[in-house]
Amino acid sequence: MGILDFLRNRREPPAAMAKERLRIIVAQERAHRGGPDYLPLMRNELLAVIRKYVHVDLDAIDIHLERDGEHDVLELSVALPEGKGGE
Amino acid sequence: MTEIIVVTSGKGGVGKTTSSASLATGIAQLGKKVAVIDFDVGLRNLDLIMGCERRVVYDFVNVIHGEASLKQALIKDKRVETLFVLAASQTRDKDALTQEGVERVLDELAKDGFDYVICDSPAGIEKGAHLAMYFADRAVVVVNPEVSSVRDSDRILGLLASKTRRSERGEGGVPGHLLLTRYHPARVEAGEMLSLQDVEELLGIPVVGVIPESDGVLTASNTGVPVILDESSNAGQAYTDTVARLLGEVRPIRFLDAPKKGFLKRVFGG
Ligand SMILES: Nc1ncnc2c1ncn2[C@@H]1O[C@H](COP(=O)(O)OP(=O)(O)O)[C@@H](O)[C@H]1O
Ligand SMILES: [Mg+2]
């Protein structure tokens, strides 16, 4: 995070920060709602495997279960750290 | 027709019992026959807020277990003719409430001609909270303008949509109304607290009321008189508005602006 971001964050009123954080977490929890109970556990295990090879943050991995016609599709996306394919 | 309204939130200490007591009292004041039920088994409190704690002989669990009749357990309010309280049991047995038992009590209230049943939910998402919402026709979701309360409420909205009789029957879940309580207009204006608009946007349900933070609520609980009966308190007036909206009236929301504290205003009134 650059110094500008830092200053900007500091000037942002607490209520605005609360709203932004809630917007993200609520959207994430809604997306996972109704999904099978094993999803969070599976997400953690996958994360552990990925982390053996690349160092990613806990929130860099996103799992979605989506209904595509007849099928349920498990969608997994991992945001890799900038400029680093591996370490 | 009996309408069952659950007052719920997920998070504890946000004002569910305070709201249940005032909404039940306010609806009954309009001449409707109302029962308000405490679902917080093990942590009975509604009786204190309603001021009838010394008249509890039998409770909700006694009725469910057939140890008392519903008639024996319903406590008739001393102030409002058509209002009745069903106290929670102080048992530590978490399985004291059963779905069949709750259904039987609700059916009997319907047969006895009650217009409204208000279910005061315990905190959490466990059995007590589940049973309080399961049979509901509508939900009043009590939220404080604060991150954990908003997040928990969204969780509760998910359960209302999927784990209730209405959802199981394919009737589209239990519709929720937002009741924002402990609102501090001055702190909202200072950017320190989430605003009504913020919470509305985040949760995406219609607003039924905003109750300001008010000293009147403490006085009310100290004296065992629901705050809606205190016409001098902002919170009491805000609950009166909320009751009207719940019953279909359209009213503007009051107490959203911080009182101006200028010198002239203090001297000359305003
Ligand atoms: N509008 C309000 N202003 C000030 N205090 C409030 C207000 N609403 C609730 N409270 C206080 O908050 C506390 C928790 O309220 P309560 O109704 O028992 O919450 P819950 O049933 O959700 O646990 C109580 O001490 C109550 O007096
Ligand atoms: Mg309570």
Q: What is the ipTM of this complex?
A: 0.87
Which residues, including other chains, have CB under 8 Å from residue A32's CB and lie 6 or more apart?
A39, A40, A63, A64
Separation in Å, CA B26 to CA A75, B219, B230, B241? 50, 18, 11, 9
* Strand pairing class (B75-76; B116-120): unpaired
Question: What is the number of other CB atoms lying within 10 angstroms of the CB of residue B245?
Answer: 17
Can you list the residues of chain A whose pLDDT is less than 70?
1-10, 83-87
Instruction: Select the residue from A11, A17, A19 to test the B interface by mutation, using most B Cβ atoms within 10 A.
Output: A19
- Burial class of residue A54, CB neighbours in 10 A (0-12, 13-18, 19+): middle
pLDDT digits (tens, 9 = 90+) for B80-110: 999 999 999 998 787 899 999 999 999 999 9
pLDDT digits (tens, 9 = 90+) for B225-261: 999 999 999 999 999 999 999 999 999 999 999 877 6
- Burial class of residue B83, CB neighbours in 10 A (0-12, 13-18, 19+): buried
**B180 neighbourhood in chain A, CB within 8 Å:** none
Instruction: Select the residue from B143, B144, B151, B196 to test the A interface by mutation, using most A Cβ atoms within 10 A.
Output: B151
B88, B42 contact by CB (below 8 A): yes
**pLDDT at residue A86 in the model:** 46
Q: Which helix (H) or strand (E) holds B38?
A: strand B34-38
**pLDDT at residue B253 in the model:** 97
pLDDT over threshold 90, residue B62: yes
B60, B109 contact by CB (below 8 A): no
Return the half-sphere exposure (C-beta side, CA atoms, 13 A cut-off) of residue B24.
35
